[in-house]
């Protein structure tokens, strides 16, 4: 399962949002074998615009992920900081390719 999460964050809360995001990503990668990649970037010209590449082993791994305490802490802790969220489902063009 592959998707992009495109977010716009309230500029006054960007630093706090980043702390939540970093903790959530690091914990997910460390504790969840089904979370293959969570890679977040911010746009250079618009630092409040964040894109996260999400790769899960399968849909079940994603469903487990969104029920974890660390994801729920992130989601609930940042809900007032997120001005917009767009989730884009993707299909891998080269499924055998692994991220090093």
CATH number at residue 35: 3.30.70.100
Residue 100 in domain: no
3-state helix, strand, coil in the chain (%, to 5): 40, 35, 30
Residue 61 in domain: yes
Q: How confident is the model at residue 94 (pLDDT cuts 50, 70, 90)?
A: confident
Euclidean distance between CA atoms 52 and 86, whole angstroms: 11
Axis crossing angle, helix 14-31 with helix 69-78, rounded to the nearest 10 = 170
73-95 mean pLDDT = 95
What is the reported pLDDT for 32?
Answer: 96
Residue 95 in domain: no
Residue 80 in domain: yes
26-35 mean pLDDT = 96
- What pTM value is reported for the model? 0.92
Domain count, the chain: 1
Domain of 52 in residue numbering reads as: 2-90
Residue 58 in domain: yes
- Hey, how many other C-beta atoms are within 10 angstroms of the C-beta on 90? 12
**Res 100 pLDDT > 70:** no
What is the reported pLDDT for 48?
Answer: 98
Residue 59 in domain: yes
Residue 55 in domain: yes
**Res 37 pLDDT > 80:** yes
Residue 99 in domain: no
């Amino acid at each position: 399962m592959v998707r992009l999460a495109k977010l716009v964050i309230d500029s006054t809360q960007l630093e706090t949002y980043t702390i939540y995001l970093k903790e959530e990503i690091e914990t997910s990668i460390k504790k969840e074998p089904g979370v293959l990649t969570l890679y977040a970037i911010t746009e250079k010209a618009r630092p409040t615009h964040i894109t996260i590449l999400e790769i899960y082993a399968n849909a079940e791994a994603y469903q487990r992920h969104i029920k974890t305490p660390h994801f729920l802490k992130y989601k609930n802790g940042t809900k007032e900081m997120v001005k917009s969220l767009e989730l884009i489902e993707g299909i891998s063009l080269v499924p055998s390719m692994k991220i090093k």
